[in-house]
Amino acid sequence: MITPATDVSTPAASQEGTRAAPLRPDRNMALELVRATEAAAIRAVPFIGRGQKEAADGAAVDAMRAFLTTVEFDGTIVIGEGEKDNAPMLYNGEHVGNGHGQQYDIAVDPIDGTSLTAAGRNNALSVIAVSDHGTMLDASSVFYMDKLVTGPAGVGIVDIRLPIGENIRLLAKALGKPVDEIVVSVLHRPRHEKLIDEIREAGAGTRLMSDGDVAGGINAARHGAPTDMCVGVGGSPEGIVTACAIKALGGHIQGRLWPRDDDEKQRGADAGLRMDGHVYEAEDLVRGNNTLFVATGVTNGELVAGVRREGGYVYTESVVLRSASGTLRRISSEHLVSKWL
């Protein structure tokens, strides 16, 4: 069992006259959230490459939940994990934190890429995203979303309603590079066969992902990353999580819900979601500019390195993206193995 530490920091508040200014997810809380993603990533390590997808997820869930109880906030999970795969859950509506301080919407994925972890492949992450209470779109009733993500160059330029070839040409022009240097990430799924063909016919290259489209979207939006765009149908919860990160990077994200059948389409409509091909912009996915995105690598990837053990130490790498300041910070941590036994 994990024994959570108790060194909790309280988000700072400022005063203007007699009225307190709104609290924001701040650096102190970000560090507390990193402790939760680090714990989830470390606890998943024994299951890397073991083919035990749900066991890995269960260990990560337990570790993340234990550390979230120490954080000074009143969080409600809007985007939980596990429902799609019948895995252990930090469930939608669950309250996390110590119940004091500011209220926040929380999106969690203790392992984004459980299949990657089970297979020992790259790009598995432990993820938490936070925004002001009532600002995250609850798209949990529809499991999939068609997404388009780019960096800042794509803002006001590309549009998910356009053919992929046209978007590639528009982005190439905005970036000042030839089309044949554009690289597009897309999940390697049968549903994307036509999309992959169209990307290549337009003259661009593809980066096919086996899983983990949160990392794919962030890498498409990061300055200097090896990909320029991320497209295709992936998890709708992952779309909300990615939007929190994209806001900090100043990038572009759009999504359209993608119901698998009429029953799911009706569930989405009953939940108040637009099921008519409506395009959700970044501000629809997560309103406002007070978001935090925290991720720790479980396995190695382009965004962060995975957990590694050397002798009596465990090493982790994490990123913190904060929209209020527009920053991406990297946190490299060294943990004594003896404290985790």
pLDDT band of residue 175 (cuts 50, 70, 90) is very high
Q: For position 274, what pLDDT does the model report?
A: 95
Tell me how far apart the alpha carbons of residues 276 and 262 are, in angstroms, rounded to a whole number.
Answer: 12
Q: Say whether pLDDT at 211 is over 70.
A: yes
Cβ-Cβ contacts under 8 Å for 15 (sequence gap 6 or more): 21
Across 9-23, average pLDDT: 39
Q: For position 213, what pLDDT does the model report?
A: 87
The rounded percent of the chain whose pLDDT value lies above 90 is 78
Q: What is the pLDDT of residues 36-64, one digit of tens each?
A: 999 999 999 999 999 999 899 999 999 99
Across 266-289, average pLDDT: 95
Element containing residue 52 per DSSP (H, E)? none
Q: Say whether pLDDT at 7 is over 50.
A: no
311, two tokens = 């002798």
Give 251 or 19, the one with higher predicted confidence: 251
Determine the Cα angle at 339 with ends 337 and 341, to 5°: 75
Query: Which phi-psi region, left, alpha or beta, contains residue 24 (left: φ > 0; alpha: ψ -120 to 50)?
Result: beta
Q: For position 94, what pLDDT does the model report?
A: 87
Q: For position 14, what pLDDT does the model report?
A: 36
CB-facing half-sphere around the CA of 196: CA atoms within 13 A: 14
Total-model pTM:
0.87
pLDDT band of residue 159 (cuts 50, 70, 90) is very high
Q: For position 224, what pLDDT does the model report?
A: 87
Q: What is the pLDDT of residues 53-96, one digit of tens each?
A: 989 999 999 999 999 998 989 999 998 864 444 445 788 888 89
Tell me how far apart the alpha carbons of residues 27 and 152 are, in angstroms, rounded to a whole number.
Answer: 24
Q: Do 68 and 294 contact (CB within 8 A), yes or no? A: no
Q: Do 90 and 108 contact (CB within 8 A), yes or no? A: yes
Element containing residue 232 per DSSP (H, E)? strand 229-235
Q: For position 81, what pLDDT does the model report?
A: 61
